[in-house]
């Protein structure tokens, strides 16, 4: 409780917007005419995610040698150069309503209108206010992001950018928060763009050049119509907003040594009973699942679930390196709480391991083939399984702490206000090289309080950062 009160005390600093501007790809500046708009048609992977929040992640950086307009002008210049490579992020969603058959088609139109760059100031907020506790001061951190509360589909109805960035100057640091429409990209693309921008900003392009060039055109299975007509007379019919329970956020970091111990314990418990090695991430998520079941005080016969967001790159033939669209799908594993708690870390991790093995190319292709005939959309309000489930997206493989914009590596990473449902747990690269990981977790406040007081769970936690 004392830690929660300390986090609440950090909410005293206010965030003030200083300026806004649209940043266009640098190749589109000057007197030369812009090329005609190009339409990128969206896949089932893309379309199903238009109904949820923008992806919102950001990094906390040390204080730069210069601030104010000079800082933001420099970041705007490097952002414009990054948008040359990812030119479609300067476009806008475009819709066509077909009254004759009551359908709608949506595309990403590459108009070069630009990404929004917001300059903000929060002189009353210090770095320690953000990272000094396992509890996250949500009202402050969420204010570091643009386009809060906006769904992807909103950008197809209103003239909103698909990409927006906010640079917030703090008392002793800078927070760079980015919001990207989930209907046009997933987490892999999000962090590749962030990496590209930071590399250009610090004047080090050698890593960027070695990466595959972005592949902007979408990949469809051969049976899909292009563009895909949605059975909606009006696009507004796809919008659903739910009343979500109040949640509290916490951030837990696990050292490489701690992760190694969890993995060794899980595999030792399953020695002779598992056909494949349990991974470090599976062991960590099993540790979380068991602790959350305890904190929720689930009855032994209650069903609990864990939904993993799987990346399809490398699992589906035909998706080229550098593919810029969405390529993710969820898969849910169900168990009863009694088994999770009684059968141990190894057994719980093995359930997640089996889910990975069962996620194959055939099932992905079947989903993509069926979706235009039977479209389903993701909604933030229906992912938390009524207070008994967990959902994890993200990856410890995403390069977050390599985003040095020229004055030092990130101190921490945090997310915005999207996807804040009971049981959401994003996984991040840890600050320590060699296998450390972090979890950003949302739970209802009383459950989170019991989790933080759980010695078995917290013994594996290293630092709140």
Q: What are the catalytic residues?
A: 182, 404
3-state SS of 161-226?
Answer: CCEEEEEEEECCEEEEEEEECCCCCCHHHHHHHHHHHHHHHCCCCHHHHHCCCCECCCCCCCCCCC
Q: Please, what's the b/e burial string for 171-209 (b: 16 or more CB within 10 A of its CB; e: otherwise)?
A: eebbbbbbbbbbbbbbbbbbbbbbbbbbbbbeeeeeebe
Instruction: Give one word for 318, left, alpha or beta, with left for phi > 0 and alpha for psi -120 to 50.
Output: left
Instruction: Give one word for 419, left, alpha or beta, with left for phi > 0 and alpha for psi -120 to 50.
Output: left
Distances from the Cα of 170 to the Cα of 37, 239, 315, angstroms: 39, 35, 42
Q: Are 24 and 130 in contact (CB under 8 A)?
A: no
Q: Are 206 and 76 in contact (CB under 8 A)?
A: no
Is residue 133 helix, strand or coil?
coil
CA atoms of 258 and 240, how far apart (whole Å): 41
CA atoms of 223 and 244, how far apart (whole Å): 37
Interacting residues of 51 by C-beta distance below 8 A, sequence separation 6+: 151, 152, 153, 238, 239, 240, 377, 378, 379
CA atoms of 165 and 194, how far apart (whole Å): 10
Q: Which residue has the tokens 């009160």?
A: 5
As beta bridge partners, residue 16 has: 121
């Amino acid at each position: 409780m004392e830690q929660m009160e300390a986090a609440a005390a950090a909410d005293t600093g206010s965030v003030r917007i200083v300026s806004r501007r649209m940043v266009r790809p640098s190749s589109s500046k000057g007197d030369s005419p812009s090329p005609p708009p190009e339409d990128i048609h969206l896949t089932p992977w893309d379309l199903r995610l238009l109904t949820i929040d923008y992806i919102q992640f950001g990094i906390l950086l040390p204080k730069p040698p210069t601030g104010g307009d000079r800082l933001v002008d420099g970041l705007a210049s490097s952002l414009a150069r990054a948008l040359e490579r990812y030119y479609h992020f300067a476009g806008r969603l475009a819709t066509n309503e077909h009254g004759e058959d009551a359908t709608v088609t949506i595309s990403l139109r590459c108009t070069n209108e630009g990404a929004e760059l917001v300059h903000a100031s929060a002189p009353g907020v210090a770095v320690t206010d953000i990272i000094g506790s396992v509890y996250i001061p949500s009202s402050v951190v969420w204010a570091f992001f643009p386009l809060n509360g906006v769904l992807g589909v909103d950008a197809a109805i209103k003239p909103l950018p698909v990409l927006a960035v906010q640079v917030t100057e703090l008392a002793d640091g800078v927070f760079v928060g980015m919001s990207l429409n989930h209907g046009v990209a997933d987490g892999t693309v999000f962090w590749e763009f962030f990496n590209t921008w930071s590399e250009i900003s610090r004047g080090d392009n050698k890593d960027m050049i070695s990466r595959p060039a972005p592949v902007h055109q979408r990949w469809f299975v051969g049976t899909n119509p292009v563009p895909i007509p949605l059975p909606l007379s009006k696009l507004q019919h796809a919008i659903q907003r739910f009343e979500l329970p109040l949640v509290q956020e916490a951030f837990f970091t696990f050292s490489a040594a701690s992760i190694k111990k969890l993995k060794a314990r899980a595999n030792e418990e399953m020695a002779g009973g598992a056909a494949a090695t349990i991974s470090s991430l599976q062991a960590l998520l099993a540790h979380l699942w068991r602790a959350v079941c305890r904190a929720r005080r689930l009855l032994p016969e209650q069903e609990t679930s864990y939904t993993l967001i799987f990346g399809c790159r490398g699992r589906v033939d035909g998706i080229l390196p550098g593919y810029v669209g969405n390529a993710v799908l969820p898969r849910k594993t169900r168990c009863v709480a009694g088994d999770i708690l009684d059968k141990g870390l190894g057994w719980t991790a093995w359930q997640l391991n089996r889910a990975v093995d069962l996620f194959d190319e055939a099932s992905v292709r079947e989903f993509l083939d069926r979706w235009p005939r039977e479209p389903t959309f993701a909604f933030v309000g229906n992912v938390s399984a009524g207070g008994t489930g967990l959902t994890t997206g993200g990856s410890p493989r995403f390069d977050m702490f390599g985003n040095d914009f020229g004055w030092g590596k990130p101190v921490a990473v945090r997310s915005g206000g999207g996807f804040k449902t009971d049981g959401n747990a994003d996984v991040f690269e840890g600050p320590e090289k060699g296998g450390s990981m972090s979890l950003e977790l949302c739970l209802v406040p009383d459950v989170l309080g019991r989790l933080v007081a759980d010695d078995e769970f917290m013994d594996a936690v290293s630092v709140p950062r």
